[in-house]
Every structure is written in structure tokens, then in C-alpha cells.
């Protein structure tokens, strides 16, 4: 997808996180991307001009827009993403996942700016048997999904022209990620057990970030799904990681019940990304190909 004569300054919130930092890195030519985030940038991350910015503070959004200067759009990657912790701190998750996005959307609507808000597959309950379409009924299982769904509702109410992009199973170059965790465990344990009864699509931020730019610069509106092509269980994801990295550590499938967590996860949350594919003219890469690219990027790949 090409964008004729695109230019301007775009604010990326949550820019010190795994996704936001990659969105900054993937800014197209002619776009000046400025990032904001609560924490310091992680090693290897791009410089974040507005670091240490807590969007939950009173008046923070208006101050952020003032400090960011004239803008043409905003990509919101800021979120409370600790799924299990959200069960015990839902009010905080609601502020970060619903109240802040609504304030950002309102500020963008008042200024006539494009707005892209990142959401999640956790808005679904996982009882489906085919990939979820953007217009399928939602029914979150826990606090994280509830607060993200409420964020979607408030964003749409505040800015009818906004785009909401649901994604899933993210990993990327900066921060803690599943492939790195698996490889670290494989280096210290004689064998691994990983759940096989949760199915989704592992999605690399190297693939997702350019897609978010396409949505923003195309001034698309509505709900989109964005995930790498195909489907996999966490066991499939882990096994592929070990194979591509050349690890011989044995790995075995197990059930979710064997590794109970505070928050319930959707058993099936594959996303139908046809609408995004039509917008961009191409899908995100198949998940295993994207994983190989990521491991090569991280210099963890030994075989294909």
C-alpha cells in the first residue's frame, strides 16, 4: 500500500513498549513520528521525545498534545497489558485501557486528526470455531478483555472516524517476548511443557507495525483485525521457535488446566483479517515465516 505525498507529525503513545517502539521504527518516509511513554526507552529502542509521560494523570492528554506540537494523527499503543494482574487491579486497567484511549480519541476528534487504537483478541470468549470477524459478537472472559472492550466502545463514541485494530499473541525485538522466554528455558531445563489447547496466531511487531501505519495514513475507520496468517497453539509456537533456533531440547504438549493462571484465556481466538488485507492489498506474513524473520533479526536463527 502506498500513500501519496504523506507527511506530517504523528504521535505514537506507549512508544517505550514492545509494539510502540516498533511503530516508531517503522515510520514511513515523509512522516515525523514522535513517541510518548511512561518509562524509559528499552535498550535498542528509538529515542522517545516525550518519555516519562503518565497519561493517567489529570490533564495529561491535553498537555501531551500541547507538547507534541502540530499533529496529523495518533497511534495509541499505550495499554495495561498484564492480563493476570488486571484481575486484581481492574480499576487501573480500566483507566489505562478505556479512559485514556477515550481522552486521546476525543482530542483527535476535536482537532480533526486520524486516530488508530490498538485492541485485542481477548474481547472474544474463544468459543468460536472459525476465525473471528470484526463484527462478530464480543464476550470477554476477564478484566483485561472487559477493559479493552470498554476502550473500544469509548473510542468509537468519542471519535466515530477512528480505527480500532485488534491483534494477538504479540512478540517483538524489545521487551520480554515468548520466543525469548522459550529459548531461555530450553537452555536451562532438560525438557519443556507448553499448552496446546489455546489456539491463535503468533504475530510479530515487525509485521504489525507497518500495518498500523497503513491504517493511519489511509485514514481508515472502523474495526480491523491484524495478525499473522495461519493458526497455532502455544505448543506449536514454542516448537517452531526451538526448531528454527536449532535447539534440541524436548518439548511436550500439555493442557491449560495443568498451568492454571488467574485470568482465563480464550481457547480459540484466530482473527479473520480479510478487511485489513483488502485495505493494504496484502496480508501479514504467515506466522512461521514471520517468526523466522524475527529470529534472524535477533540473530537467534540457525536453520530454516
User: What's the pLDDT at 175?
Assistant: 82
User: What's the pLDDT at 53?
Assistant: 72
Strands 163-167 and 170-171: unpaired
CATH of the domain spanning 8-173+202-229, picked from 3.90.1170.40, 3.40.50.720, 3.40.50.2000, 3.30.565.10: 3.40.50.720
Q: What is the dihedral of CA 37, 43, 47, 51, to 10 degrees?
A: 20
Q: Euclidean distance between the first and final Cα of the chain, in Å?
A: 29
Averaged pLDDT, 167-177: 93
What letter does residue 28 receive in the DSSP assignment? P
Of the candidates 132, 144, 171, 268, the residue annotated as catalytic is: 144
Residues 6+ apart with CB under 8 A from 266: 121, 122, 124, 125, 126, 141, 198, 200
pLDDT digits (tens, 9 = 90+) for 28-66: 999 999 998 876 556 666 766 777 777 888 888 999 999
pLDDT above 60 (res 4):
no
Residue 256 — pLDDT band, cuts 50, 70, 90? very high
Mean pLDDT of the chain: 92
Asked if 96 and 138 touch (Cβ cutoff 8 Å), the reply is: no
Cell reading at 17: 513498549
171 carries an active-site annotation: no
Q: Model's pTM, two decimal places? A: 0.94
pLDDT above 60 (res 137):
yes
Residue 79 — pLDDT band, cuts 50, 70, 90? very high
User: What's the pLDDT at 125?
Assistant: 97
pLDDT above 70 (res 89):
yes
Helices (H), the chain: 18-25, 60-68, 83-86, 90-94, 100-111, 143-158, 178-186, 205-217, 234-245, 274-280, 287-297
User: What's the pLDDT at 51?
Assistant: 72
Amino acid at each position: 500500500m502506498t500513500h501519496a505525498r504523506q507527511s506530517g507529525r504523528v504521535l505514537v503513545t506507549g512508544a517505550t513498549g514492545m509494539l510502540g517502539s516498533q511503530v516508531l521504527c517503522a515510520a514511513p518516509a515523509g512522516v515525523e513520528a514522535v513517541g510518548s511513554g511512561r518509562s524509559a526507552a528499552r535498550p535498542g529502542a528509538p529515542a522517545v521525545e516525550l518519555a516519562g509521560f503518565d497519561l493517567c494523570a489529570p490533564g495529561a492528554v491535553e498537555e501531551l498534545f500541547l507538547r507534541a506540537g502540530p499533529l496529523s494523527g495518533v497511534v495509541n499503543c499505550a495499554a495495561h497489558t498484564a492480563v493476570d494482574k488486571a484481575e486484581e487491579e481492574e480499576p487501573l486497567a480500566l483507566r489505562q485501557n478505556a479512559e485514556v484511549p477515550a481522552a486521546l480519541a476525543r482530542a483527535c476528534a476535536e482537532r480533526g486528526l486520524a486516530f488508530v487504537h490498538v485492541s485485542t483478541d481477548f474481547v472474544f470468549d474463544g468459543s468460536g470455531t472459525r476465525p473471528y470477524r470484526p463484527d462478530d459478537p464480543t464476550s470477554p472472559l476477564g478484566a483485561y478483555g472487559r477493559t479493552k472492550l470498554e476502550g473500544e466502545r469509548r473510542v468509537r463514541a468519542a471519535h466515530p472516524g477512528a480505527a480500532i485494530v485488534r491483534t494477538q499473541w504479540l512478540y517483538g525485538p524489545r521487551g520480554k517476548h515468548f520466543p525469548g522466554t522459550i529459548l531461555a528455558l530450553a537452555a536451562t531445563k532438560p525438557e519443556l511443557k507448553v499448552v496446546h489447547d489455546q489456539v491463535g496466531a503468533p504475530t510479530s511487531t515487525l509485521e504489525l507495525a507497518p500495518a498500523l501505519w497503513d491504517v493511519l495514513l489511509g485514514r481508515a475507520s472502523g474495526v480491523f483485525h491484524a495478525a499473522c496468517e495461519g493458526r497455532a497453539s502455544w505448543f506449536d509456537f514454542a516448537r517452531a521457535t526451538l526448531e528454527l533456533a536449532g535447539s534440541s531440547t524436548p518439548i511436550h504438549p500439555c493442557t491449560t488446566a495443568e498451568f492454571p493462571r488467574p485470568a482465563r484465556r480464550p481457547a480459540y481466538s484466530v482473527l479473520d483479517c480479510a478487511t485489513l488485507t483488502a485495505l493494504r492489498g496484502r496480508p501479514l506474513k504467515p506466522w512461521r515465516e514471520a517468526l523466522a524473520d524475527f529470529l534472524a533479526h535477533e540473530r537467534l536463527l540457525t536453520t530454516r
